[in-house]
Structure formats: structure tokens, C-alpha cells
């Protein structure tokens, strides 16, 4: 990865850390549908949705809102669904749903390790 690309990736990672966010990654489509319904039942509402020509084919995105809190649900055909939001909200949802939480930005798993550079 070029130095410029690495530099650009620093900003979303810093934002993730500074806003105290968490992510649930690698949620299969079959598992996500009941989780999404559970979120809706808990009062979360879809505030925006990706409607590009490739929605549901190569990429998908939902932003959920409940009061002043927001969560982002993101899908691609390689790593399936993820749910990202405030750490306490994501941790509570993960615990009640039996999911694992990570404290890194979803796309960080694709970064090269320093030894790969």
C-alpha cells in the first residue's frame, strides 16, 4: 500500500478511536436479517439507505437512528455485514445477541501489517 493510501486511512481510524466506536463484523446475510428486525423492534429507524446501482450486489449500507444515537450497517460481498456505532450501544447489542465486538474500524482488517510494507 502506498504511503499516501496509508495516510488517508489514518483519518477514519482516528475518527473511530476518538468517537469511541465499536464494530460487530462478519455477520452473514442470514444472521443479519433477524438482527436487523430485532433492532427495528427496539426502536431503531432507518434514517438513510444506499441506493446506488449496485445496492445489494457489491455493496449495501443502512444508517439507523434512535434518538441522538446512530449506527451504521454496512455490507459487501466479501466480508458480509457489519454493525458500527457507539461502543456502549454496540457492546450491549452484541451481548444480548451473542456476537463478538471489535474495537477497530471495519476496513482495518485489510491493512497491511508493518512487516508486509
- Listed residue (30, 23, 29) closest to 93, CA to CA: 23
**80-86/69-76 β-pairing:** antiparallel
Question: Cell numbers of 90, please?
Answer: 454496540
pLDDT digits over 1-37, tens only? 678 877 777 887 888 889 999 999 999 999 999 999 9
Confidence of residue 111 (pLDDT cuts 50, 70, 90): low
Amino acid at each position: 500500500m502506498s504511503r499516501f493510501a496509508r495516510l488517508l486511512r489514518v483519518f477514519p481510524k482516528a475518527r473511530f478511536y476518538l468517537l469511541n466506536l465499536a464494530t460487530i463484523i462478519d455477520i452473514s446475510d442470514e444472521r443479519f436479517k433477524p438482527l436487523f428486525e430485532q433492532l427495528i423492534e427496539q426502536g431503531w429507524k432507518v434514517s438513510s439507505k444506499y441506493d446506488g446501482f449496485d445496492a445489494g450486489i457489491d455493496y449495501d449500507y443502512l444508517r439507523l437512528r434512535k434518538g441522538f444515537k446512530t449506527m451504521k450497517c454496512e455490507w459487501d460481498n466479501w466480508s458480509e455485514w457489519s454493525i458500527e456505532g457507539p461502543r456502549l450501544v454496540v457492546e450491549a447489542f452484541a451481548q444480548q445477541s451473542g456476537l463478538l465486538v471489535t474495537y477497530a474500524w471495519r476496513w482495518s482488517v485489510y491493512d497491511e501489517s508493518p512487516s508486509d510494507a
